[in-house]
Amino acid sequence: MGIRYQITCAVVVFVVVVAEILELCICANSSTTLHSPCLERERQALVKFKASLNDPSNLLSSWHGDDCCRWKGIGCDNVTGHVVMLDLTPPYLKCWRSMSDDYDCDLLDYQYLEATNVNSSLLELEYLTHLDLTGNTFYGSHIPMFIGSMQRLRYLSLSDAGFGGRIPSNLGNLTNLHFLDLSGNGFSPDSNINWISQLPLLEHLDMSYAYDTFQVNIINLTITAPKLQFLSLAANGLSVSNLDALQNMTSLVHLDLGGNNITSIPCWFGNFKKLEYLCLSERGLHGPIPNAFQNATFIEFLDLSENNFDSFPFWFHKFEKLKLLFLSSNNFQDTIPDALQNMTSIESLDLSSNSFTSVPSCGSLPGHIGHIMPNLVNLRLGNNLINGSIPNSLCQNDQLEILDLSNNRLFGEIPNCWKDNQKWEEINLSFNELSGFMKGTLGGCGFNG
Ligand SMILES: *[C@@H]1O[C@H](CO)[C@@H](O)[C@H](O)[C@H]1NC(C)=O
Ligand SMILES: *[C@@H]1O[C@H](CO)[C@@H](O)[C@H](O)[C@H]1NC(C)=O
Ligand SMILES: *[C@@H]1O[C@H](CO)[C@@H](O)[C@H](O)[C@H]1NC(C)=O
Ligand SMILES: *[C@@H]1O[C@H](CO)[C@@H](O)[C@H](O)[C@H]1NC(C)=O
Ligand SMILES: *[C@@H]1O[C@H](CO)[C@@H](O)[C@H](O)[C@H]1NC(C)=O
Ligand SMILES: *[C@@H]1O[C@H](CO)[C@@H](O)[C@H](O)[C@H]1NC(C)=O
Ligand SMILES: *[C@@H]1O[C@H](CO)[C@@H](O)[C@H](O)[C@H]1NC(C)=O
Ligand SMILES: *[C@@H]1O[C@H](CO)[C@@H](O)[C@H](O)[C@H]1NC(C)=O
Ligand SMILES: *[C@@H]1O[C@H](CO)[C@@H](O)[C@H](O)[C@H]1NC(C)=O
Ligand SMILES: *[C@@H]1O[C@H](CO)[C@@H](O)[C@H](O)[C@H]1NC(C)=O
Ligand SMILES: *[C@@H]1O[C@H](CO)[C@@H](O)[C@H](O)[C@H]1NC(C)=O
């Protein structure tokens, strides 16, 4: 009896639960997602915002009807129905962001929204946590002061949106920000950005190409966010004294300081043990590749091109996860270092415009590179002094798409062992003493070159 009673009870409970779920579904009236409908006040604010935009390509055609939560680019809290996300990134940029190799974003038109300012109707979206206006154009207008009062924002991207003037300091009031991207605008270089130090939760900060002139030597940066993983200050003309602000940023995974006036690498770079991406291209650095990098053993992307580096350290083989290595336009000489022979994961190798004379061990170019770097897609060794022949082993890289060996001292026959269907994007063997033909497909047309 006891057992039977328990079973009955369980069935009753089950029925009640099912009834509750059904009721919930009927209330929500939604076949796929459960959410409350849009709030009228917020719908009105969005209608007003839409009216302030010029939308020549009709990107906001879905913005009609009562339930603004279903409009393109809008996200609502699924319990309260408040608008929490406004993402107006144009479709072609979204495509680029999510680009997998084969995806052809160029098929999408470069369509975007235009406005002479950011309309203050956004202020009525009190619960907004995610605001993304990337890639639209605001014709040199200032970032409005009211953005600094949208205290719930966790994600703010205003990149490539044609903003100008001074960056308002009250962005430092947005203490919940995890993600901030102001890159690709034309801000005036006297913008005070000390307020960044008031954002302790930042994980992603992109200020690359942010100013309307290259020289931003007065920039004063302090970052206190212990969880910062992504930092790009590329192309701002910073000078080295300002880098001290970075010395405690041990959680950095992505660091891009390319295109700045940096003349030496501080020893505290050894603190950056989690780096996977490091760009220090263009300007100022010379001597051996610094020992301070050697703790960054997770590095996958290293760009030191357009400096005056002249030698590889003995520990370079520790970078065994490297996929992309760009060292063009430096002062490297003699033999391409043995260390590269351990780098089996390399996909892209650019050593062009140096003074390399030969390739390790084998003398001929690039030795048994076909065995050593089976993942190579892009090989650029042009503008060096490499003396030798091209070995057949290179044909084993059947995914090779770019081969630039131009302007060296290569001689002999061009190997004729590539697959007929090898898909070449670029081949340049000019300015050598080579003879013969190459097999493959270039830009969709068959060729013999
Ligand atoms: C549910 O909402 C959709 C529109 O969002 C409407 O077409 C449909 O008739 C509604 N169903 C019920 C049962 O109210
Ligand atoms: C915001 O946009 C609405 C609709 O276009 C317009 O009437 C209003 O003047 C704009 N407000 C500001 C401050 O530009
Ligand atoms: C509501 O949103 C939260 C957080 O975004 C999510 O974890 C949860 O699964 C959602 N609930 C429903 C019923 O969709
Ligand atoms: C916002 O920032 C401004 C300028 O930095 C400051 O004067 C003001 O007190 C801040 N407001 C709040 C609510 O924190
Ligand atoms: C930069 O910071 C220093 C020290 O905090 C301060 O003395 C100086 O005035 C700041 N410069 C600018 C341009 O903000
Ligand atoms: C880095 O951290 C140390 C120890 O916590 C501290 O003394 C120093 O002021 C910090 N430096 C910067 C630039 O934040
Ligand atoms: C780079 O900075 C140094 C001082 O750190 C300065 O002497 C030099 O003129 C700067 N170069 C450029 C191109 O700005
Ligand atoms: C690498 O990290 C270790 C341990 O934290 C540290 O002692 C060493 O100085 C670092 N190496 C460099 C070159 O900075
Ligand atoms: C390859 O790596 C091993 C250890 O992983 C190291 O001992 C060796 O010296 C490296 N070879 C070269 C050519 O750097
Ligand atoms: C190229 O290498 C060969 C054999 O290693 C040598 O005889 C020749 O002089 C070299 N040519 C140049 C231009 O360095
Ligand atoms: C091939 O290389 C030469 C020498 O480096 C260069 O001048 C030329 O522009 C390159 N050709 C192409 C099509 O890139």
- Give me ligand 9 centre to Cα 220, in Å: 42
How far is the C-alpha of 213 from the C-alpha of 189, rounded, in Å?
7
How far is the C-alpha of 182 from the C-alpha of 148, rounded, in Å?
14
Ligand 9: does its nearest atom lie under 6 Å from the Cβ of 338?
Answer: yes
- Give me ligand 2 centre to Cα 119, in Å: 6
For 367-387, the pLDDT digits (tens) are: 556 567 888 899 999 999 988
- Give me ligand 8 centre to Cα 290, in Å: 13
**pLDDT over 90 at 39, yes or no:** yes
Residues 319 and 295: beta-carbon distance below 8 Å: no
For 392-407, the pLDDT digits (tens) are: 777 777 788 999 999 9
Instruction: Among 152-161, 176-185, 419-428, name the one with the lowest average pLDDT.
Output: 419-428
47 confidence band (pLDDT: 50, 70, 90): very high
Ligand 2: does its nearest atom lie under 6 Å from the Cβ of 121?
Answer: yes
The closest alpha carbon to 279, from 297, 263, 300, 294, belongs to: 300
Mutation to probe ligand 3, out of 33, 78, 83 (largest number of atoms < 8 A from CB): 78
User: Ligand 8 atom closest to Cα of 267?
Assistant: 14
Ligand 5: does its nearest atom lie under 6 Å from the Cβ of 344?
Answer: no
**pLDDT over 50 at 444, yes or no:** no
Per-position DSSP letters for 110-131, written without gaps between them: ----B-SS--GGGGG-TT--EE
Alpha helices (H) in 30-128, listed in sequence order: 40-51, 91-97
**pLDDT over 60 at 18, yes or no:** no
Residue 218, token pair as written in the block = 């007065």
Instruction: Among 13-22, 56-65, 316-325, name the one with the lowest average pLDDT.
Output: 13-22
User: Ligand 6 atom closest to Cα of 245?
Assistant: 13
For 228-264, the pLDDT digits (tens) are: 999 998 887 666 556 777 888 899 999 998 888 788 8
Mutation to probe ligand 2, out of 48, 50, 118, 147 (largest number of atoms < 8 A from CB): 48
Nearest CA to ligand 2 atom 2: 52
User: What pLDDT does 200 receive?
Assistant: 95
**pLDDT over 50 at 147, yes or no:** yes
- Give me ligand 10 centre to Cα 430, in Å: 19
Residues contacting ligand 8 via CB (< 6 Å): 270, 291-292, 294-295
- Going along the chain from its start, the domains and CATH numbers come out as 267-410+427-436 (3.80.10.10)
Ligand 9: does its nearest atom lie under 6 Å from the Cβ of 314?
Answer: no
The closest alpha carbon to 357, from 383, 386, 380, 337, belongs to: 386
Residues 167 and 212: beta-carbon distance below 8 Å: no
For 22-37, the pLDDT digits (tens) are: 444 444 444 445 556 8
- Pairing status of strand 441-442 against strand 445-446: antiparallel
Q: What is the percent of the chain with per-residue pLDDT over 70, rounded to a whole number?
A: 82
For residues 164-191, give the mean pLDDT.
94
Ligand 2: does its nearest atom lie under 6 Å from the Cβ of 50?
Answer: no
The closest alpha carbon to 276, from 337, 323, 209, 317, belongs to: 323
Nearest CA to ligand 3 atom 2: 78
**pLDDT over 70 at 8, yes or no:** no
Q: Which ligand is nearest to the CA of 44?
A: 2
Ligand 4: does its nearest atom lie under 6 Å from the Cβ of 197?
Answer: no
User: What pLDDT does 146 receive?
Assistant: 97
Beta-bridge mates of residue 428: 404
Helix (H) or strand (E) holding 435: strand 433-435
User: Ligand 6 atom closest to Cα of 223?
Assistant: 14
pTM given for the model:
0.83
Nearest CA to ligand 8 atom 6: 270
- Give me ligand 2 centre to Cα 52, in Å: 6
Q: Which long-range contacts (CB under 8 A, 24 or more apart) does 55-59 make?
A: 55/113, 55/114, 56/111, 56/114, 57/109, 57/111, 57/112, 59/88, 59/90, 59/91, 59/111, 59/112, 59/113
Q: How much is the mean pLDDT over the chain? A: 83
- Give me ligand 4 centre to Cα 173, in Å: 6
- Give me ligand 9 centre to Cα 340, in Å: 9
- Give me ligand 1 centre to Cα 29, in Å: 6
Mutation to probe ligand 2, out of 46, 55, 121, 123 (largest number of atoms < 8 A from CB): 121
How far is the C-alpha of 29 from the C-alpha of 32, rounded, in Å?
9
Ligand 9: does its nearest atom lie under 6 Å from the Cβ of 339?
Answer: yes
Ligand 5: does its nearest atom lie under 6 Å from the Cβ of 220?
Answer: yes
User: What pLDDT does 371 receive?
Assistant: 63
How far is the C-alpha of 193 from the C-alpha of 26, rounded, in Å?
51
Q: Which amino acid is at 75?
A: G
For 354-372, the pLDDT digits (tens) are: 999 887 655 444 555 656 7
Tokens 């880098």 found at:
243
Ligand 11: does its nearest atom lie under 6 Å from the Cβ of 430?
Answer: yes
